[in-house]
Amino acid sequence: MRKISAFLRRVDKPLVVATILLFLIGLSFLYSTTYHKGQGILDRYIVRQMLWFVIGLIFSIALLKVNYLRFMDLSYFLYIFIIFILLSVFFVGNTILGAQRWIDIGIFTFQPSEFAKLIMIMVLANYLGRNRIRIHSKKTIIGAFLIVSVPAFLILKQPDLGTALTFFAVLFSMLFVSGIRIRHLVAIISGGLFLMPVLWHFLKPYQKSRLLVFLNPNLDPLGAGYTIRQSKIAIGSGMLLGKGWQSGTQNLLNFLPERHTDFIFSVVGEETGFLGAMFVLFLYFIIIRQSIRIAYSTNDVYGRLLAVGLVTMIAFHVFVNIAMTIGLMPVVGIPLPLISYGGSSLVVTLIAISILLNIRINRPVF
């Protein structure tokens, strides 16, 4: 009992509570978006999401018992393994809506690119931690880019632009925390912007349409621009208090596509209004704030880099997903952590939270 009591005292309670609340909110709106009259409460979406949560919870609890530094020892092995899995997607992966991103393992279908983000963060934390003295050298920076670029390129070819961009957002944040000179970071970002025309040629036609519609919403109002128009209508119609749970017209009348995955925040805004949406943002703020505190509460460079990479991954998903639902960013297909339907995203987010808790519990004291 003493060990359990000591363990609970070290756990970041606000982080855990915010995580659970966001999952429950996501479950309620998943039911709202997938409800059909005459169908049982526990439809297949709810059952699968709950099952994925249990799986993620089991992994999370198991990982809490292992010091996070052990992950560093396995990181390169896991990196080679996930590259192999990403390559296998092109041969045995399932194609859904023109994208080949999923692998069917019988009962479940999982998305390797979600797990690739987690493993890439571990490898990058290991690499930058070992080379922290040589962080200003070109060799170290090029090595970091190569670590990120290989899986990012494979994911971009699936195609999955949103996940590929997440890799580089994580890279920049971890390089910054590693102590890279600001002028070097600015030069790298500027170089990336100059390469954007080259990236354009790697995009699929539907991805190009989404980017063009973002620049000119009236370009294709019934095609590529339809979803974002309906999303903004849904959020705007919620006003201050919303229309009520399961009372959103854009949701119930099927005007809003992908409302249980990428655009579930639009349903939150429509049915709970500005106040409900702000409460969701507040919970994400707690997760991000507590994660940053964990990152800067440890003196271990590996733990700090790992925590920064994980919180950047979560924060980037939240920012991009919500920004695209309100028309501030192009649609790139990034799920909203803990709320959007999707087993791989849910499990990876729970594991990321578990590793953050692990860093707090096992942080070295000097």
Q: How confident is the model at residue 366 (pLDDT cuts 50, 70, 90)?
A: very low
Q: Any idea which of 61-70, 137-146, 356-365 has the lowest mean pLDDT? A: 356-365
pLDDT tens digits, 174-212? 999 988 888 777 877 777 777 777 776 667 676 677 777
**CB-CB contact of 86 with 113 (8 Å):** yes
Reported as a single tens digit per residue, the pLDDT across 97-119 is: 666 777 877 777 788 889 999 99
Of the two residues 99 and 289, the one the predictor is more confident about is 289
| Cβ-based neighbour number of residue 309 at 10 Å | 27
Exposed / middle / buried, residue 232 (Cβ in 10 Å: 0-12, 13-18, 19+): middle
Q: Please name which of 223, 211, 289 lies closest in space to residue 12, comparing C-alpha atoms.
A: 289
Amino acid at 312: T
pLDDT given for residue 23 in this prediction: 95
- Averaged pLDDT, 260-285: 92
State residue 222's pLDDT score: 63
- Read off the pLDDT band of 38 (50, 70, 90): very low
Mean pLDDT confidence for 127-149 = 88
Torsion (CA) 166, 45, 55, 358 in degrees, nearest 10: 40
Q: How far apart are CA 248 and CA 334, in angstroms?
A: 23
**More reliable by pLDDT, 361 or 199:** 361
| Predicted local distance difference test score (pLDDT) of residue 3 | 55
Domain residue spans in the chain?
11-361
What is the token pair recorded at 133? 């003295």
The pLDDT, as a whole number, for residue 42 is 54
Predicted pLDDT of residue 310? 96
Cβ partners under 8 Å of residue 130, min gap 6? none
Q: Give the pLDDT confidence of 51-74 residue by residue, as tens digits.
A: 999 999 999 999 988 888 888 888
- Is 0.85 surpassed by the pTM of this model? yes
Give the model's confidence band at 5: pLDDT under 50 very low, under 70 low, under 90 confident, else very high: low
pLDDT, position 218: 67
Angle at which helices 301-325 and 161-178 cross, to 10°? 140
